[in-house]
Chains A and B, each alone.
Chain A
Amino acid sequence: MSDPIIRLENVGVAFNAQLRVGSPRFWALEDVSLSLAPGDRLGVVGRNGSGKSTLLRTIAGIITPDRGRLKRAPVSCQLLSLALGFVPHLSGRDNAVLSGLMLGLRRREIMQRLPAILEFSELGDFFDQPISSYSTGMTMRLGFSVAMQVEPDVLLIDEVLAVGDTEFQQKSGSALRERIHSGKTIVFVSHDDEQIQQVCNRALWIEHGRSMMQGPVEAVLAAYHAAPSPSSPPPAGS
């Protein structure tokens, strides 16, 4: 196995609960350890509020850990963010450029990819209209088409695998799966076991901000489902 490109050792992240002087902090991540090797497709499972999204943003480098150690090789990590920085009064074209710049692309690169964005988003003449005239589905199509132009070394996905209406869901889903299986390193947060099984080669289970288990997908999912839910009693008869 190659050296890990990202390694978390007993990482904890605390947030301010309220905007008040002396307000207590709560630990969204208590103690998480994981390691990610190039080409890994790591699925993160856990119940609501277990810290999955915080973990993704910590890996992305947006959040700095308050304790523990985070080691990252010089790689780019990017959250798959749709409609990042979109401005309602601007055209789809201008928003594509703006969003692409925020996602770290050079202007020249985005300009070259505008035809691909226009084609994939299927916006036609609407591409030059302000996005305030778009439906939610159209905005998502544009957002997804721009997000797919960014090719970070490590792609971080929070639940979203497909967007838009049924037809575009298939198209966006298959584009993203193609990306995922092209040898990219992925961290994928999901509630959906089936998606984790399809996408990932390893899994991490976190509970109340603690990493419980990391390993093969089937084994982790089995352990996760076998554990009693800490916040609610097990269903009768189980």
Chain B
Amino acid sequence: MRLHLVELILFSTYAELRAERARSYLGLLWWIVEPAMNMGVYYLVFAVIFRMGGPDYIPFLLIGLTLWQWFKSCISHGGYSIWQQLPLIRQVKLPLQVFPSVQILADTVKFLCILAILLIVLWSTGYPPNVAYAALLPVLLVELIFVAACTYVVAAVVPLVPDLRFIIEQVLQVVMFLSGIVFSLDGLPPALRRWFELNPIVELVDAGRGILMRGEWPDWFALGRVALISLALYAFGSLLITRLTPRYVKLPT
């Protein structure tokens, strides 16, 4: 039974990526071009026009945006996945965690492509690979759990309150600015910064920047705390979907 679901998720992910490629002329190229354009806009506004940052601002921004885009695209795609599949859900009995999981996996594949390019850019601009890269895998794994947890919770709630679609993008925008993606939070008073660090994204992005830019090992204690919070949130999101499933099929068409 469980293996069957793994097969379903993997094949659906393949189908999703393949269909996405077929939906545009440039196909797979958009996986790279779209985030690159997005980064270009932030670079133009914050680095060129507002002259933010200092010498390290470009890698700071690129790493932050790469990790943030992964989170954001999972929420934007996976968060609507159950709502979008309501007609299918009325036809067949499936654990509905399948639908957000497929979107998370598809967006993770795209993220890995962008990450590969980010690494090449970093290496060629004076930020070579270092020993701390060994910590990249656990950091990314924790981010994956956190991303999946948030996506599950959004995916569980959107079918019941579809109006949320209109505010999710705005909320994401605010969270991005509060997470130190484009501005460093170092300028904040320490008392305030402590509050900001309760945000798991701040920890994860900080850890990523430390590894890739400065060869620093992550704060394992903080990472462990984020991992625990993420696992708990993931279990909650999954339970929420299971509990709410009987209500989705009874929603008006």
Contact = CB atoms under 8 A, between A and B. Distances in A.
State yes or no: do A and B come from one complex.
yes
Interface of A: 13-19, 57, 60-64, 78-79, 81, 84-85, 87-90, 94, 97-98, 101-107, 130
A202 B215 CA distance: 74
Contacts of B94: 102
Contact of B93 (A18, A62, A89): A62
Contact of B88 (A15, A84, A105): A84
A14 B3 CA distance: 34
A101 B23 CA distance: 23
A16 B3 CA distance: 35
Contact of A64 (B23, B90, B246, B251): B246
B249 A98 contact: no
Contacts of A89: 18-19, 22-23
Given A62-B92, A103-B92, A130-B22, 9 more contacts: A15-B252, A18-B252, A60-B93, A64-B246, A89-B18, A97-B11, A102-B8, A106-B3, A106-B4
B97 to A, nearest CB: 14
Interface of B: 3-4, 7-8, 11-12, 15-16, 18-19, 22-23, 88-94, 162, 246, 249-252
Interface hub of B15, B92, B251 (most chain A Cβ within 10 A): B92
Contacts, number: 73
B62 to A, nearest CB: 32
A57 B90 contact: yes
Contact of B250 (A15, A18, A61): A15
B15 A79 contact: no
A143 to B, nearest CB: 12
A17 B4 CA distance: 35
A102 B252 contact: no
Nearest to A87: B19
Given A85-B88, A97-B11, A104 B19 contact: no
B217 to A, nearest CB: 41
A94 B4 contact: no
Given A87-B15, A101-B4, A106-B3, A81 B251 contact: no
